[in-house]
Structure 1
């Protein structure tokens, strides 16, 4: 195996280091987070850091990079308390990835891609139309990570919309049936082909 020391990491070119460290954690979830400003400007952006925090109450979190520059997603969800999480699927990969471009707050990524916004149950934030799994989220709290000035946003699931055929009898959502993507690093996308499930394990 190739050995890379901490000193090596420190001395790498910054682009090489970014690619290395972003990909070493393994495959990550691929989601579009939708928000809407108080002025009515829609925003949608790709995130690979959404993670499960608990089932009762149903909580998810995601990480934001330092807010030393404008973060439209953060500004909007703090102002309104609402955001959506939408799973990226194979047919929208290119447009989903383009939402990582840094547009001004008065420009909607929906207008710069073929992604289409939609609204459900009078929820304030936009969903991404045709996403096979859509979650309406309410902001709960945030935690500042002092080591690198990132922010963990904690949200509560208030509504969940899932395509028919994905929800199995035991509550499991089979994402492989919807060609849902995963992210490797910052810019590589993969489509899992199948699931292998095991029963709940107890000591032998």
Structure 2
């Protein structure tokens, strides 16, 4: 495969949409989630994001990046108003509907209604969930930071509740998300389902790696040539 070098000047000179697709593809596969919010008047909002990151498990924190708040960002505005949001899995059978939530609908129009997804409300939490999603996470706003390098906004939430199928939770806490066809994103617009290679035990410098089965028990290597010792 022939290599090429792209300089920072070439990147700066690129057409904006081409540059966005290229740079967004560089980090590889990213998680696909829908952020569901509601404003102070009860108007729901739904937006797909590919920037959700794990920030810690005690306390349980997740974050995501919102684009600069130079124009109306309904998701960010709602979270700052209400202090709550939900993250909802995107699965293969409705990935195209989730993608459509990235369109710039007016604030008074619910993306749920516009794309054909269903808001699910819980009396114990302000923000709605997505009924069609298998994994639904309720989060309260903990921090909101502006990243000075490019004025994007980082939203950090603490997990208040998790709704998910009992059968995907393995005995050691691992979630078998592949089994429910939770999709991933590459670039801005390419959706993928995954194929697991293997699970691996906790790595130590003086111990050969041991593969694990889905439920966390020791297993066999799927192919001998890739075995590490």
TM-score (norm 2): 0.87
Change (3 A) 1:121 1:163: farther
2:9 matched to which residue of 1? 7
1:42-57 maps to which residues of 2 (within 5 A)?
A: 42-57=44-59
Q: Which moved more, 1:58-67 or 1:120-129?
A: 120-129
| Cα offsets for 1:27-75 (capped at 9, x unmatched) | 1110000001111111000000000000000000000110000001011
- 1:121 shift after superposition: 5.0
1:61 matched to which residue of 2? 63
Choose which of 127, 130, 152 in structure 2 pairs with 1:128: 130
| Cα offsets for 1:85-134 (capped at 9, x unmatched) | 00100011111000000111111001111211112352111100131111
Secondary structure in structure 2 of the residue aligned to 1:155: strand
1:112-127 maps to which residues of 2 (within 5 A)?
A: 112-127=114-129
Aligned equivalents of 1:54, 1:195: Cα separation in 2: 25
> Which has the larger Rg?
2
Which 4+ runs in 1 deviate beyond 3 A? Answer: none
1:91-130 maps to which residues of 2 (within 5 A)?
A: 91-130=93-132
2:74 matched to which residue of 1? 72
Unaligned stretches of 5+ residues in structure 1: none
- 1:164 shift after superposition: 2.5
Unaligned stretches of 5+ residues in structure 2: 207-229
Say what the alpha-carbon RMSD is for the aligned residues. 1.0
2:32 matched to which residue of 1? 30
2:221 matched to which residue of 1? none
Are the counterparts in 2 of residues 176 and 195 from structure 1 also a CA contact under 8 Å? no
TM-score (norm 1): 0.97
Aligned equivalents of 1:10, 1:72: Cα separation in 2: 29
1:142 matched to which residue of 2? 144
